[in-house]
Structure 1
């Protein structure tokens, strides 16, 4: 994929969903970068200089800036027509501007120097199933935890309500196991909810590969490493 390569999307909905995903990322970090990986469809080639028959997918990886135990959000976009394998990191804001929803197309902007997280992505294979948690139960747990976070932070006296104190409360809450899916922390479900992946009636699936954990939904996936760093909570709020 070159900077000027125009990618045809499978339909207008793909463009709208990608734009919504990028918009949510930018609410959390106006300077967000995303890593793009174009994967040819069946019968395609891995050579970035070779056009292939059939469509493919574009995987868009973004990082929710939630402290040391950051969560990666992944949105896959179905492509139409030939696509060559490619891998680059770009500005999320510039990518959003490049989405042509009406024309169901996308022209990736110029690459940027990738942030450190972009060099450590979850594996593509080796995932073992952990279960299929009901989305209603997952959302219920997340909303209850959000209310607890708000209540407990409000109870902290103003002169003690430092970022460190707020993050400590958040980390204690979001590090708890998710009752609806054994092996996953609440942090994964909260991230999926914050990025808009948890929708009523949609099927979910949890997986693990080594230290990596993943929660899948039709709208996208979130992934994180199992070992959480102290103070790594979801205490940050989206930019207004």
Structure 2
């Protein structure tokens, strides 16, 4: 663990980190994140509640440092200094099980370049469909079990022309990763994983063939 703050090399990265953490905490007050730093890049890994995906935010650091720690998202947010473009790393916590089972470091292969707005429109469409179908249900039928089943039916569909579950696009949209409508997105796969890469962050899901072989832990290369 490092005692000195991590200083970002690019303006706006501290604000991006703060926004990311706020979204995680909105869904889960006790959320944790795993921090990995190496070769001048910080990677922030999370598993947002409800989405069943990995979310990854990366940023270049002004000074290279080696770091691997799981910390409270709330405590990390308190230590973000947007004016100073830095963040102080809090004391480590006992992390959730997902923190030890990150996606692979290497072997990622580009499989599709998505035109600007494709993933965002797909997410908006399924969110709208879920709301409309929910509103058409009689109030007495809107049970948690039925709504969960409806959500699973919709978000397990695939993004047209790819194998990416729409829940990944939904998660990317909810996290603000798809806010730039003009930016293209890219899809990668690696040994049973799929990665939706955007200019603001990545969302990664395990496919049916995903295993728990060696090499886990996603490399902290810029998105």
Q: TM-score, normalised by structure 1?
A: 0.82
The answer for the alignment partner of 2:54 in structure 1 is 72
Shift of 1:65: 1.2
Q: Structure 1 stretches (4+) deviating beyond 4 angstroms?
A: none
Task: Show structure 1 runs of 5+ residues with no match.
Answer: 41-55, 229-240
Q: Is residue 109–residue 189 contact of structure 2 (8 Å, CA) maintained in 1?
A: yes
**CA deviation vs aligned residue, 1:3-44 (integer Å, no higher than 9, x gap):** x2321211331111111111111111121100000112xxxx
Change (3 A) 1:166 1:72: same
Matched, 1:63 2:42: no
**CA deviation vs aligned residue, 1:40-83 (integer Å, no higher than 9, x gap):** 2xxxxxxxxxxxxxxx011001111126xx11110002100241
Q: Is residue 41–residue 61 contact of structure 2 (8 Å, CA) maintained in 1?
A: yes
The answer for the alignment partner of 2:183 in structure 1 is 202
The answer for the alignment partner of 2:98 in structure 1 is 117
Q: Is residue 130–residue 183 contact of structure 1 (8 Å, CA) maintained in 2?
A: no
Q: Distance in 2 between matches of 1:74 and 1:207?
A: 14
Shift of 1:160: 2.3
Q: Is residue 36–residue 87 contact of structure 1 (8 Å, CA) maintained in 2?
A: yes
Give SS of 2:102's match.
Answer: coil
Matched, 1:129 2:113: no
**CA deviation vs aligned residue, 1:99-147 (integer Å, no higher than 9, x gap):** 1111111110010100011111111111122201113222222111111
Task: Please report the RMSD computed on the Cα atoms of aligned residues, expressed in angstroms.
Answer: 1.5
The answer for the alignment partner of 1:184 in structure 2 is 164
Shift of 1:218: 1.1
- Number of positions where the alignment pairs a residue of Structure 1 with one of Structure 2: 208
Indicate which of 106, 121, 124 corresponds to 2:87: 106
Q: Is residue 12–residue 103 contact of structure 1 (8 Å, CA) maintained in 2?
A: no
Q: Distance in 1 between matches of 2:141 and 2:208?
A: 28
Q: Distance in 1 between matches of 2:10 and 2:119?
A: 30
Q: Is residue 12–residue 102 contact of structure 1 (8 Å, CA) maintained in 2?
A: no
Give SS of 2:196's match.
Answer: strand
Indicate which of 199, 208, 212 corresponds to 1:218: 199
Q: Is residue 89–residue 112 contact of structure 1 (8 Å, CA) maintained in 2?
A: yes
Shift of 1:226: 1.4
